[in-house]
Structure 1
Amino acid sequence: MGRANIAPWEQTPDWEKASASAVYRQIAAFIATTDGACAKLSREQRGRFVALCWTAQIYKHFPDPKPSYVADWEQLLDWQKQTDADIFDAVERAAATLS
Structure 2
Amino acid sequence: MIEGGQVYLRAWVDGVQRHAPGSGQARSWVDMPAWERASTTAVYEMVRAFVEAGGTDRLSRVQKGQFVHLCWLAQVHKHLDSPTTADWDALPTWHQETNTDVFDHIEDLILGRH
Runs of 5+ unmatched residues, structure 2? 1-23
Distance 2:107 2:25 in 1: 24
Letter of the aligned partner of 2:88 in structure 1? W
CA positional deviation for 1:44: 0.3
CA positional deviation for 1:8: 1.0
CA positional deviation for 1:63: 1.6
Distance 1:6 1:86 in 2: 14
Runs of 5+ unmatched residues, structure 1? none
Q: Cα deviation per residue 1:15-60 (whole Å; 9 max; x = unaligned)?
A: 1011000000000001112x2x111100000000000000000000
Q: Does 1:47 align with 2:65?
A: yes
Structure ranking higher in helix proportion: 1
Please give the TM-score of this superposition, normalised by the length of structure 1. Answer: 0.85
CA positional deviation for 1:12: 1.1
Aligned-pair RMSD on alpha carbons?
Answer: 1.5
Letter of the aligned partner of 2:102 in structure 1? I
- Equivalences, count: 90
Q: How much identity, in percent, do the aligned residues show?
A: 40
Bigger drift between 55-64 and 6-15 goes to 6-15
Runs of 4+ residues over 4 Å off in structure 1: none
Please give the TM-score of this superposition, normalised by the length of structure 2. Answer: 0.74
Q: Cα deviation per residue 1:51-96 (whole Å; 9 max; x = unaligned)?
A: 0000000000012112xxx210000000000000000000001101
